[in-house]
């Protein structure tokens, strides 16, 4: 089955700097990709859903890159601020399977 590796497990960045998180997946049939944010003690909130056909996806304060050739999905938090301190999870799905395969998460801390 699908396996998702997420790096790094922990990331500490200064306010205003970028934070870069990468996930690699194994199943070439994976077609839908998700990034979720989880603040401490809270549930998962969808950051962005990415379709296989789109390589660069811009959000508010972040960019998601998809490289299908290398089976790599990346999240770049641009100009990080304290409100970005949270755990971030990538998740992958194909057209047929119903569940998501999650990465193990990256805990981001943004300090002044």
Q: Which residues bind other proteins (CB under 8 A)?
A: 1, 6, 31-32, 34, 36, 42-46, 49, 89, 93-100, 102-105
CB atoms within 10 A of CB 93: 18
For other proteins, the closer CB: 72 or 107: 107
For other proteins, the closer CB: 49 or 72: 49
Least separation in angstroms between residue 78's CB and other proteins is 23
CB atoms within 10 A of CB 25: 22
For other proteins, the closer CB: 26 or 45: 45
**Any bridge partners for residue 88, and if so which?**
37, 106
Q: Are strands 10-14 and 106-111 parallel, antiparallel or unpaired?
A: parallel
Residue identified by tokens 């969808």 is 46
Least separation in angstroms between residue 53's CB and other proteins is 12
């Amino acid at each position: 089955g699908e396996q998702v590796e997420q790096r790094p497990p922990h990331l500490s960045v200064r306010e205003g700097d970028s934070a870069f998180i990468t996930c690699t997946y194994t199943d070439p049939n994976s077609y839908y990709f998700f990034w979720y944010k989880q603040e401490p003690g809270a549930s998962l909130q969808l950051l962005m859903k990415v379709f296989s056909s789109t390589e660069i996806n811009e959000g508010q304060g972040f960019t998601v890159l998809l490289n299908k050739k290398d089976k790599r999905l990346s999240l770049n938090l641009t100009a990080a601020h304290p409100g970005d301190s949270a755990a971030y999870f990538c998740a992958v799905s194909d057209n047929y399977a119903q569940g998501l395969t999650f990465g193990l998460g990256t805990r981001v801390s943004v300090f002044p």
